Chain A
């Protein structure tokens, strides 16, 4: 990479978080949409399943404290529009936009416009007296996020700032996929009496759909089987929402930033990301399942948090000021 334009630490921090928040907003929209879709396919007895969606975010306790029993209406409000909840779609988009605003000269005008459109979409929606249908809303958010990803790819130079954006996106995505896996596997597997019933298939299909992985999984494995689904979402090297894919690409972007050759490291972030990458590259799913998927996902999330902290220390911490990137 050429050294023509050095990147301010503050700017690197802001683009990294901008990307994380956009990705987070997209994932929340996915969770909502797929769960709603799932409810429509299941018999009435199952339709209480809104609590798991909240659990996927890791903020179940916050929700219970403020809203009590989970139903479609209050979960939608909490996850989509609640300005007091830091990870609602609204808060994420707002934080992404604040960050984008502080680095507007670094990103392309088209990217800024798209984030701004997304912000206008969500603020208009949150003010509506009668909300749009949930699927239509989630679809609009997802498509706006996809459009952002496309605009990012074709309008911004793939320079250092772009690689920071990628690292932010990929770490966030890996984290969310691991949470979906964890929560769904935990909830779906104990219902032994459902194994082999149509409902079981429907629910596992929903897991795949929540990461847009249903069709790609079918092509790869055909039959719906929990172990294979875990293998696909955890260890696939080609599917862009699989954890191994995300970690591999994040590692690549980090090396593009530092210029360090593969199989070596120059800072803590590279070392930790490299370790996780090779762990996933050489893993098999059976030992993971027999040792416990939940434990594995837990450890994975801890490792990713440590990587996030290392990135902060290695690249953003030169910033002397009191305030970092905007967080909700």
Chain B
């Protein structure tokens, strides 16, 4: 038996190398990190066949649960599961405390900023942020000027992308304030792992994530415009062909609220109603998963078929609440992102707890020259895109791609930023019958109403291709469960401290 285990361990990890990257499971010298010890032992207690059987069982389960995303333009068997790796990413309790404090500070500042931008613009007047980058941002919404959402909150649901560099330092990569997705995978991944590794959960104190739906509902209800009675909350989806449709229906189901499409809603007499078998029923709060541009053809794009005519007028009159607040994408612009540390200093009079990735802004002449001279080393991103689109990863690019980006940057400098290529941290990931390190990021989810709640967990996205740094699901990324520990294991030197307390 012991021999089998040793053999299994050799098979899984014998050739495992951290290759100079920060590894979430192993220290640089190859020793397992204390918080990953139990998981490693569990894996080593399995024989090779068992682990692969678990992997197939998990994939089968996800397929049966229908946790799939749509592949556009493919009609037969058009749905794929989001690749899922069994080996969790573990975040020690102390590390999580740090992240949680940093995220709360950041979300608070972002809310202050957006509220300020759509009112007095004090931060611009005081010279902390240049005026022209605000008005030139594609996500700036004039229609939102003077709006007063409840509690002054514009970002109710946020999914901040964090990455770690070679030294293990965390950085904020993107804020994702508009319609962040992925939280359903956090909840479902956990369900799958609990079924597969029940004993590890008994041994480790992993903080639960399943309170998310209740917290979300509570927050949404707190936004209701009419104080009397039970507020009616709905989730607004673009429909079943949207790639995140599974998540929309999952969240509606978990909260026990209606999932509506634009055509189910109608504005009448200033209020918003849904059409039911027994006539029209008023709606108080809309968790909308439809982009600003498509929300209301009367206020935004007139050709939108997904939206509800008159919705913005009802919102402006305070007859319905929208989460997230329209217009909040202004702070999602990648040029404005570069100023979040300034915002934190300006509104909170504190230094940022979580640093930004150093960012070059191409509209600044000095930055642009540096970027153009170093395209092969930098990551270039367009200011207003997400999902891994409109991006150049310098070290993995061809000369032709670099030329194309150089031309684009020269033509529209405001639209581009560049960042150093980070050596993202890695987690062991099953590749065929053994483990290899794969790069990951981390997207925690933050809810903000009267107070801020950070879900202890998050979506760990993993670049499944060897060496790849792009973790987006649209670009071949997968996911892992993220375990936040309630208590860190006692340091190995300090034995005698019971871990069972």
Contact = CB atoms under 8 A, between A and B. Distances in A.
A11 B275 CA distance: 10
A10 B264 contact: yes
Interface in A208-259: 257
A315 B253 CA distance: 23
Given A6-B274, A315-B277, A105 B263 contact: no
B253 A8 contact: no
Contact of A102 (B66, B240, B274): B240
Interface residues of B, number: 29
Contacts of A8: 258, 260, 264, 274-277
B242 to A, nearest CB: 11
B261 interface: yes
Interface string B248-262: 011011000111110
A6 B66 contact: no
B64 A117 contact: yes
Contacts of B65: 109, 113, 116
A143 to B, nearest CB: 16
Contacts of A106: 259
Contacts of B278: 3, 6-7
Interface string A6-34: 11111110000000000000000000000
Contacts of A10: 261, 263-264, 275
Contact of A101 (B235, B245, B261, B277): B245
A105 B266 contact: no
Interface in B11-56: none
A213 B473 CA distance: 51
A90 to B, nearest CB: 11
Nearest to A3: B278
B357 to A, nearest CB: 38
Interface residues of A, number: 31
Interface stretch (A44-52, A286-294, A318-326): A318-326
Interface in B325-359: none
A105 B234 CA distance: 11
A105 B277 contact: no
A120 B63 contact: yes
B160 to A, nearest CB: 27
B436 to A, nearest CB: 30
A123 B79 CA distance: 12
Contacts of A7: 276-278
Contact of B263 (A104, A257, A320): A320
Contact of B77 (A112, A113, A117, A123): A123
A9 B249 CA distance: 17
A105 B258 contact: yes
Contacts of A101: 66, 240, 245, 249
Contacts of B474: none
* Interface of A (DSSP majority class): helix
A98 B240 CA distance: 8
B268 interface: no
A182 interface: no
Contact of A321 (B235, B259, B261): B261
A9 B275 contact: yes
B281 interface: yes
B308 to A, nearest CB: 11
A117 B61 CA distance: 11
Interface in A297-328: 315-316, 318-321
A160 interface: yes
Contact of A105 (B76, B77, B252): B252
B360 to A, nearest CB: 44
Contact of A116 (B66, B245, B259): B66
B66 A321 contact: no
B263 A12 contact: no
B258 A112 contact: no
Given A105-B252, A120-B63, A123-B77, A320 B275 contact: yes
Contact of A160 (B250, B258, B277): B277
Contacts of B264: 8-10, 319
A319 B263 contact: yes
B274 A105 contact: no
Nearest to B276: A6
A310 to B, nearest CB: 14
B464 to A, nearest CB: 23
A9 B276 contact: yes
Contacts of A257: 277
Contacts of B240: 98, 101-102
A309 to B, nearest CB: 16
A109 to B, nearest CB: 7
Contacts of A6: 274, 276-278, 281
A6 B281 CA distance: 8
A112 B276 contact: no
Nearest to B248: A105
Contacts of B250: 104-105
A105 B276 contact: no
Given A98-B240, A101-B245, A120 B263 contact: no
A318 B259 CA distance: 17
A105 B249 contact: yes
Interface in A164-208: none
A112 B66 contact: yes
Interface string B363-406: 00000000000000000000000000000000000000000000
A49 B44 CA distance: 61
A97 B240 CA distance: 11
A319 B253 CA distance: 22
Nearest to A5: B258
A117 B66 CA distance: 9
A109 B235 CA distance: 18
Given A6-B276, A6-B277, A105 B259 contact: yes
B287 to A, nearest CB: 12
A66 B436 CA distance: 53
27 contacts: A5-B258, A6-B274, A6-B276, A6-B277, A6-B281, A7-B277, A9-B264, A9-B276, A10-B264, A101-B240, A105-B250, A105-B253, A105-B259, A106-B259, A109-B65, A112-B66, A113-B64, A113-B66, A116-B66, A117-B64, A120-B63, A120-B64, A123-B76, A316-B277, A318-B276, A319-B264, A320-B275
Q: Which 4 pairs, one residue from A and one from B, show the smallest C-beta to C-beta distance?
A: A321-B263, A105-B253, A6-B276, A105-B252
Interface of B: 63-66, 76-77, 235, 239-240, 245, 249-250, 252-253, 257-261, 263-264, 266, 274-279, 281
Interface of A: 3, 5-12, 98, 101-106, 109, 112-113, 116-117, 120, 123, 160, 257, 315-316, 318-321
